[in-house]
Amino acid sequence: IIKIEAIQNQRLYDKYWNERVSMIKLMGEDMINEKDLFHGTGSEDVMTTIENEGFRKEFNNTTIWGEGTYFARDASYSVKYCRSKGDVKQLFLCMVLCGDSHIGSRDIKLTNWPIRSDSSEMIYDSLVNNMYKPSIYVIHDDARAYPMFIIHFK
């Protein structure tokens, strides 16, 4: 690791915090499933957009676990998608509200996200690659992720 750069964007943080408060009211603090996860992207323009405006699920091209914005438990997964400046790569470390998860699949689109099996008739908060030990999380609501840091590394 060469350096870790903090992202301080009060507007984005406020959106994240408001979503967090809303989820706590809806499901309780112990169920919001807040995680620190990694996100890699290959473009400097997209990195700047995320820093300034937040995540935008419509820019994601990966759909193996469904449409949405992808985050990984392990940095080694996100490194494949990292932007490089010469021999230095950059990676986001993010706070992500994962909530109630459902197993993902390629055929899940933003328009047919799975509905919870309880009586709420609400869609799941995230999709995962494995229900028992998830390492990939996909979210549909961009306000549920806050980019905390950019990690610069070789």
Q: So what's the pLDDT on residue 107?
A: 95
Residues 15, 17: Cα–Cα separation, whole Å: 6
Tens digits of residue pLDDT in 67-79: 999 999 999 999 9
CA-CA-CA-CA torsion sign (89, 95, 96, 99): positive
Per-residue confidence (pLDDT) for residue 23, from 0 to 100 = 96
- pLDDT mean over 44-69: 87
Question: What local confidence, expressed as pLDDT, does residue 82 receive?
Answer: 87
Q: How far apart are CA 4 and CA 151, in angstroms?
A: 5
pLDDT greater than 90 at residue 58: no
Assess whether pLDDT exceeds 80 at residue 61: no
Vertex 102: Cα angle to 23 and 33 (nearest 5): 35
What pLDDT is attached to residue 112? 92
Q: Each residue of 88-142: pLDDT tens digit?
A: 889 999 999 999 999 999 999 999 999 998 878 899 999 999 999 999 999 999 9
pLDDT digits 0-9 by tens, 9-47: 999 999 999 999 999 999 999 999 999 999 998 888 888
Give residue 74's pLDDT.
Answer: 97
